[in-house]
Structure 1
Amino acid sequence: MPWGKSQLCWRKARILKTTSWCRLSCRCTTVLLGLNLAWSPSTIRISLAPLRFLCTTMAARIHHGTSYSRQTKLESRGRTVILNGHRHPQPKGVGYSRNVAVFQSRGKYLCFQDADDVMMEGRVRLQLDAAIKHPDSIIGCQITRNPEGSTKRYTHWLNNMSQAQLFTQVFTSHGPTVLMATWFCSRALFDRVGKFDERGKGVPEDLLFFYNHLRQGGGVHRVDAPLLCYRYHEDGASRSVQENTIWDLRVNFLEERVLQHWKHFTIWNAGKQGRHLFRSLTPKNQLKVLAFCDVDSKKIVKAFYTYHESKQRPKPTVPVVHFTEARPPFVLCVKMVIKMPAVFNPPPWLLPRYTLIVASIEL
């Protein structure tokens, strides 16, 4: 007996549902990371097809009671859960823990999740779709904060960059342009870049991985939906990284990716941050600096900046000029806030030829 129209529609819907179920369950691994793995129950509530969960602790112990009960709940819903720990007396760090989870997993796609954050329904599905469309990209998403209003300006920056700015603002002080806690990527991409740095506390393993990814021509994409609630707490691993460590990595990356290809450039900011950048450059790149430029008459009236601590002879001396007299290209050392001050209104001829390096952000 031939199929009726309603039967065909039902069969098609069932096939689509089954295909989606198999695609998610066979391809995705969620990598959970925590200090002691008293992890968030948010993953239990995800109404997706069965997924595989790799839960790794940075510490030497697991909170077995809480973790086991949640493991049982997940497994009862068809999800594979593997708990990992280690016997070392001290925490082995974020990089080590993520690597262990990735190496023990089998999924073609990896969804990274900190154990104390909350995953919103639909995250895996939406980021998987984006990863299929952008196979060479790290996929991020927008976030909400808990407590609400934490690091307001940083959150605004993460959530409101354009897709193009995910590339142009990689030299800023804020780290990767998509938050590590939201990363989603293919296993092939992870294997190509290599594992996370395992030196432990004080090492920005996410930034190092992100830079290596960009060096290999990788892309960055953000799903414009708030798919993660990012929890703020004083003991977060990222707070163990010194500002100078981040600064040195940023300057080295800027020199490698941009400045070595420029014959000369102007530093926009004759103040503290502009001078700090100049002192951090290699002698070769210091020689490329045509001038500092600024809008502040008190800085411009000095006419020159001399790097007195330099071991070079004669000591490097750079002119200080008004921005209207400056020559492109520019490296901008400005403080980024939600609304840039009105005085920062660059002329049209500046925009096509500049690199933005943000000194700091008002959190």
Structure 2
Amino acid sequence: MDDGSSSDRLQSLSIDVSIIVPVYNGEQWLEECLQSVVAQSFTGSLEVSIFNDGSTDGTSEILAKYCDQGASCSRMKWTIGSEPNRAEPGGVGYAKNRAVQQSSGQYLCFLDADDVMLEDRVHLQYEAAQACENRLCLIGSRFIREPKDSTIRYSRWANDLSSRQLYDQAYTSHGPTVIAPTWFMSRALYNAVGGFQEEPRRGYPEDLDFFYRGLAVGAELKKVERELTIYRYHRTSASFGVSEETIWELRVRQFQTNVLNKWPHFTIWNAGKQGKKFYKSLTKDNQEKVVAFCDVDSKKLAQKVYEQYDAESRTITARVPIISYKTARPPAVICVKLDMTDGALEGYLRDLCWTEGVHYFHLS
């Protein structure tokens, strides 16, 4: 459904920014979300592209009412797409792709139906995108978590990332360093990546997959150091349907492709459970590049060697030394959780004079 009264004036104009809103059963949050779109301070040409992915609650009624009553703002073009004859929802990636495909903006501002934009979001992210040297730009921002105390460690990590860490910490367990609910990107980047993965429809981190493919094609990452989005945490979010193992496999695969395949050798920092899991997840070629596990724990160091046992052949297929971090050779993969050692890990790394992104990457 296209609201003609609001789009006539814009029909002959190029669109600066398309706000991309995929929605499935979003009646609980949708009106507040759309109100935040109307309240944007951006003075350029705006388009709101919503794809309703087979909602069975009151979403369709809210959208119809909203476009009739609240979306008559002449500075915005409103487009609502749906596929009423589709047997079941296409999934998050599918809905995002359809919303993008029915839009025409030079830049794409992604907004989940359960989140809210602060009034200067589009304005500030558009300015940041215009300042990018690379036409393949992905812009994020700081965010407000709602409820406030729901994910303290994650929110602190994401909001405090430096410009360099947007790249250097891209493979940690926290997910994309440019937080998906704050994404603002050039259409050129979307096209270069080829859109979002649509299969499987459920249980797949389509945002993380897109992020890694964006890095592979040379995306420029930036973050506006202002809180521009209210990012809700709730158990009905699609992200809760993605297993940790699925995310782990994607992270390790991309880390090998983008980093390890270029290293002639490396050390794994952590001779415990997490470090061994990482080793076992590597390809045979990358396992052979591991020169040692390193650790600070005297009990682990006392083992001296890690032996990988193959149950099928009943043989030991690899022996890897376990050494002190003080004698470890970079580059290294750090398999120790961030922000969980009261600063001890960071102190060890400073003692070694290692630089993140050069001598080591965090994986946990």
Alignment TM class, shorter chain as reference: 0.7 to 0.9
Runs of 4+ in structure 1 over 4 Å off = 310-314
Deviates more, 1:299-308 or 1:73-82: 73-82
Contact in 2 for aligned 1:293/1:322 (Cα 8 Å) = yes
Give the structure 2 partner of residue 328 of structure 1: 330
**Is the alpha carbon distance of 1:166 and 1:343 closer, same or farther for their aligned partners in structure 2, counting shifts above 3 Å?**
closer
2:20 to 13, 23, 31: 31
SS of the aligned residue for 1:207 comes to: helix
Give the structure 1 partner of residue 67 of structure 2: 71
Deviation at 1:154, TM superposition (A): 0.6
Deviation at 1:317, TM superposition (A): 1.2
SS of the aligned residue for 2:222 comes to: strand
Give the structure 1 partner of residue 235 of structure 2: 234
Deviation at 1:56, TM superposition (A): 1.2
**Is the alpha carbon distance of 1:348 and 1:295 closer, same or farther for their aligned partners in structure 2, counting shifts above 3 Å?**
closer
Contact in 2 for aligned 1:268/1:331 (Cα 8 Å) = yes
Contact in 2 for aligned 1:42/1:120 (Cα 8 Å) = yes
Q: Distance in 2 between matches of 1:262 and 1:35?
A: 43
SS of the aligned residue for 2:363 comes to: strand
Q: Counterpart of 2:362 in structure 1: which amino acid?
A: I
SS of the aligned residue for 1:67 comes to: helix
Q: Distance in 1 between matches of 2:312 and 2:53?
A: 43
Deviation at 1:63, TM superposition (A): 2.3
Give the structure 1 partner of residue 7 of structure 2: none
After superposition, where does 1:26-105 map in structure 2 within 5 Å? Answer: 26-38=15-27, 39=30, 40=33, 41-49=35-43, 51-61=46-56, 63-78=59-74, 79-86=76-83, 87-105=85-103
Contact in 1 for aligned 2:326/2:352 (Cα 8 Å) = no
Give the structure 1 partner of residue 113 of structure 2: 115
Give the structure 2 partner of residue 131 of structure 1: 129
Contact in 1 for aligned 2:18/2:48 (Cα 8 Å) = yes
Q: Counterpart of 1:356 in structure 2: which amino acid?
A: F
Q: Which runs of 5+ in 1 are unaligned?
A: 1-20
Q: Counterpart of 2:37 in structure 1: which amino acid?
A: T
Larger Rg: 1
Deviation at 1:60, TM superposition (A): 4.4
Deviates more, 1:303-312 or 1:94-103: 303-312
Deviation at 1:269, TM superposition (A): 0.5
Contact in 1 for aligned 2:308/2:316 (Cα 8 Å) = no
Q: Counterpart of 1:304 in structure 2: which amino acid?
A: V
Contact in 1 for aligned 2:41/2:119 (Cα 8 Å) = yes
**Is the alpha carbon distance of 1:77 and 1:358 closer, same or farther for their aligned partners in structure 2, counting shifts above 3 Å?**
same
Q: Distance in 1 between matches of 2:145 and 2:343?
A: 26
Q: Distance in 1 between matches of 2:156 and 2:239?
A: 19
Q: Taking structure 1 as the reference length, what is the TM-score of the superposition? A: 0.87
SS of the aligned residue for 1:336 comes to: coil
SS of the aligned residue for 1:328 comes to: coil
SS of the aligned residue for 2:79 comes to: strand
Deviates more, 1:308-317 or 1:157-166: 308-317
Contact in 1 for aligned 2:22/2:96 (Cα 8 Å) = yes
Deviation at 1:344, TM superposition (A): 4.1
Q: Which runs of 5+ in 2 are unaligned?
A: 1-9
Deviation at 1:161, TM superposition (A): 0.6
Give the structure 2 partner of residue 246 of structure 1: 247
Deviation at 1:105, TM superposition (A): 0.7
Contact in 1 for aligned 2:307/2:316 (Cα 8 Å) = no
Q: Distance in 1 between matches of 2:340 and 2:299?
A: 26
Contact in 1 for aligned 2:97/2:195 (Cα 8 Å) = yes
What per-residue deviation string (whole Å, max 9, x for no partner) do you get for residues 168-224 of structure 1?
Answer: 001111111011111111112211111111111111111111111111111111011
Q: Distance in 2 between matches of 1:298 and 1:198?
A: 46
Contact in 1 for aligned 2:40/2:122 (Cα 8 Å) = no
Contact in 2 for aligned 1:32/1:115 (Cα 8 Å) = yes
**Is the alpha carbon distance of 1:303 and 1:252 closer, same or farther for their aligned partners in structure 2, counting shifts above 3 Å?**
same
SS of the aligned residue for 2:37 comes to: helix
Contact in 1 for aligned 2:139/2:222 (Cα 8 Å) = yes
Deviation at 1:320, TM superposition (A): 0.7
Deviation at 1:35, TM superposition (A): 1.3
Give the structure 2 partner of residue 157 of structure 1: 157
What per-residue deviation string (whole Å, max 9, x for no partner) do you get for residues 313-339 of structure 1?
Answer: 541111111111222211111111277
**Is the alpha carbon distance of 1:203 and 1:155 closer, same or farther for their aligned partners in structure 2, counting shifts above 3 Å?**
same
RMSD: 2.2
User: Are 1:356 and 2:361 an aligned pair?
Assistant: yes
Deviates more, 1:24-33 or 1:229-238: 24-33
What per-residue deviation string (whole Å, max 9, x for no partner) do you get for residues 123-182 of structure 1?
Answer: 001001111111322001110011112211111111101000000001111111011111
**Is the alpha carbon distance of 1:60 and 1:343 closer, same or farther for their aligned partners in structure 2, counting shifts above 3 Å?**
closer
Q: Counterpart of 1:55 in structure 2: which amino acid?
A: I
Contact in 1 for aligned 2:271/2:300 (Cα 8 Å) = yes
Q: Distance in 2 between matches of 1:311 and 1:204?
A: 33
User: Are 1:175 and 2:179 an aligned pair?
Assistant: no
Q: Distance in 2 between matches of 1:266 and 1:55?
A: 47
**Is the alpha carbon distance of 1:128 and 1:311 closer, same or farther for their aligned partners in structure 2, counting shifts above 3 Å?**
farther
Contact in 2 for aligned 1:33/1:58 (Cα 8 Å) = yes
